[in-house]
Amino acid sequence: MKFGVFGINMGACANPRTAVRVAQAAEHRGLESVWTGEHVVLPEPQAPPSPVPADVPFLDPAVALAFIAGQTRSIRLATGIIILPQRNPLVLAKELGSVDVVSGGRLIFGLGVGYLKQEFDALGIPFDRKGARTEEYLEAMLALWTQAHPSYDGEFVRFGGVQAFPRPVQRPHPPIVVGGSTTPAFRRAIAHGNGWYGFALDADTTRRFVGELRTIEARGIRPSELGPLEISVTPAAKIEIETVRAYAEIGVDRLVFLASITSEKTALASVDRVAAVQDEFDRER
């Protein structure tokens, strides 16, 4: 089991000094990763399904992770998730490739399709067919990262006769983690991802989703070069050993606990708690 913390770019961790202290503490305590969230804009006033009030600060994931990368050594830096259809894929490939370079190959690229129509409307991006757009954008990014002479000819993005150096350090590319709790998201993770990420899930829901993932995987649509599908979950449960045991039994490979980001003190306390639970779980093994 790998252990991480979510929220390294938001709330109190939108203060860069706090983000660095939390990431350094996580690294010192032996945690595997820190994870960002993303909303470019939020509806004001807050209305369902918006997850937080509009005044909750979010640093841009690439900016936050690049800043943290320069002041850490080994901890993995994950986007959990970037809303891919809201981004220009060539620009994002440059930004995230740069994060992988400056971090010495520590990026995990988590992506999703998004769900806030108000956010899409404000950005001038169609809300319909966002799944198809996401898949094309990912393929275009991978073309830039992996092809000797990158080109792509799709419905939403086309390019050729260009280069984008430097390439990411990790080859053939940083790990791709696909987030989402729908059947299309599960299929996307199986077909395109090194892993799948579920956010704020209880154990029963996680078990059901993992079962559906395995059913889709059994249809043979997963390319062999992607290897085994890694399951990452932010649990809707307290940071305690019983939580870890429950999700481990389901087959979860990584738990990304939601840090308390109301203050630097509470964020650091969350790191300490996750590390203590990790140590206890490791002793049991």
Q: Where are the domains of the chain?
A: 2-284
User: Which uninterrupted H or E stretch holds 176?
Assistant: strand 176-179
Q: Provide the pLDDT for residue 74.
A: 98
Contact 123, 112 (CB under 8 A): no
Helices (H), the chain: 16-28, 61-69, 89-102, 117-123, 130-146, 183-192, 203-217, 241-250, 264-284
Per-residue pLDDT of the chain in tens (285 residues, 90 and over written 9): 999 999 999 999 999 999 999 999 999 999 999 999 999 999 999 999 999 999 999 999 999 999 999 999 999 999 999 999 999 999 999 999 999 999 999 999 999 999 999 999 999 999 999 999 999 999 999 999 999 999 999 999 999 999 999 999 999 999 999 999 999 999 999 999 999 999 999 999 999 999 999 999 999 999 999 999 999 999 999 999 999 999 999 999 999 999 999 999 999 999 999 999 999 999 998
Q: Model-level pTM greater than 0.85?
A: yes
What is the percentage of the chain residues whose pLDDT exceeds 70? 100
Class of domain 2-284: alpha beta
- Rounded Cα distance, 39 and 49, in Å: 13
Identify the CA nearest to 140 among candidates 155, 125, 124, 129: 155
